[in-house]
Every structure is written in C-alpha cells, then in structure tokens.
Amino acid sequence: MRDDLEHAQDGGPAASDSALPGKRDIFYESTDGLRLYAADYGPEDAALTVLCMHGLTRNHKDFEPLIRQLDLPCRFVAVDVRGRGLSDRDPNRAYSPDVYVGDMVTLLNKLETSKVSLIGTSMGGLMAMIMSQAMKDRIQGIVLNDVGPAVNPAGVKRIAGYTSGVRSFPDWQAAADAIQSSQHTAFPDFTGTDWIAFARQTCRET
C-alpha cells in the first residue's frame, strides 16, 4: 500500500470510489499537455457552479462529505490538481499555485463557465485568492478554509515534515495510524473510523 502524502511531487489515484450519486468524471488537457481530472456533481445546468480546490497533499474526495452535507441544487466541480489523485504527474515538476490557477482557467473554459464560486482549503485557498485578482469578473464568491493572507512558517515546517517522502504500509490501519500521528492536532475529534476514512482518501492500494 502506498502513501500518497507527497502528491506535490508524486501523484496517484485515490483509494475508493465516490458514494455520491450522479458523479461525472471530467478529464481535460492542460496548456502543457497534462491530462488532468475533476469530479463533477449536481445538475450541469445549475444556476450556481462551485469550484472546490484541495490542500497541498489532498485530492477531490475531501469535498464529498461537504457536498453531501450541503445537499444544494448547485453544480460542484472538485479538482485533482496536477500531480494529485487522478491527474497526471508533471515531469517538469511545475508545482506552484500560479500554475494550478492556469489549469483552473483551462478547466473553467472547457466547462464554458462564465461565473463561478470558489471553495479553497489551505493551498486551494491560496489559489482562490490569486483567482480573485486574476479574474475578478468571473468570481461570484469565495469560501476560504484553513488559510489566511499570511503563511505561518511553523505550519510550513510541519507540512514539510510529513511530505518528505513516499511511504508504504502493510494495511489500512497502519496507514491510518501514521496519518493520525502527524494530523491529530488538526483533527482532535476524529474517531478511529474517521482516521480510516482519511487514510482511504489519501492512499492507494498497490
């Protein structure tokens, strides 16, 4: 079993399929030729489209519980940025928020979406802030999660500590235990079941 915590450099598909009904797969090509992925939920002709952008080591599946809980008549598009989830790895390692934002523009153009609201977690929030300036007329609203205008150096150091390599585990419980050891302060109320679910969203079976 492979731990895909270092998605910034080495991507791979997430572990389990979505239980959400009506999920559609979107594959599109970036301007530099990568095959990128997004998951599409809800009515395609909805009045509101919400683009969901994940954190540094995450993938589109992080937003499925939120989409299920909101249960709104919106179109939710949750991305796997390059190098994560079902999106191609970049042989040139062009992994930066500016590049990711360019990919989001390509995706929105493919969807022919003139107006969009954004949900961004951590790195995805940085992307949302860049997009709010780069395409003001296109953005209807922004929700930021786990990010602000200033980056805490201690937080950056902590992230670097658990994204320093690719790890393997003998089973899902071992993967969950490893993730819990680095993430427990961020999710103090998680149960054992929550950590297993987190592991299945983060790792892929090989």
Q: What residue type is 8 in one-letter code?
A: A
Report the distance separating Cα 6 and Cα 179, nearest Å. 12
Six token digits for residue 15: 């572990």
Name the band, by pLDDT with cuts 50, 70 and 90, for residue 202: confident
Name the band, by pLDDT with cuts 50, 70 and 90, for residue 10: very low
Name the band, by pLDDT with cuts 50, 70 and 90, for residue 4: very low
Report the distance separating Cα 51 and Cα 42, nearest Å. 12
The reported pLDDT for the residue numbered 201 is 84
Residue 195, φ and ψ in degrees, nearest 5: -70, -35
Structural domain harbouring 82: 2-204
Report the distance separating Cα 88 and Cα 82, nearest Å. 6
Report the distance separating Cα 174 and Cα 97, nearest Å. 32
- The number of C-alpha atoms within 13 Å of 26 and in the hemisphere containing its C-beta is 24
pLDDT tens-digit readout, 178-193? 999 988 888 899 999 9
Number of domains in the chain: 1
pLDDT tens-digit readout, 87-110? 999 999 999 999 999 999 999 999
Share of the chain above pLDDT 70, in %: 85
The reported pLDDT for the residue numbered 167 is 81
CATH number at residue 103: 3.40.50.1820
The reported pLDDT for the residue numbered 171 is 94
Compute the mean pLDDT over every residue in the chain, rounded to the nearest whole number: 86
Q: Which residues contact 75 (CB under 8 A, 6 or more apart)?
A: 40, 41, 42, 43, 44, 46, 48, 49, 50
Distances (CA, A) of 26 to 69, 77, 150: 23, 9, 33
Residue 42 has pLDDT above 80, yes or no: yes
The reported pLDDT for the residue numbered 164 is 60
pLDDT-wise least confident of 12-26, 67-81, 97-111, 147-161: 12-26
Distances (CA, A) of 11 to 3, 14, 41, 160, 165: 10, 9, 23, 17, 12
The reported pLDDT for the residue numbered 156 is 67
The reported pLDDT for the residue numbered 159 is 66
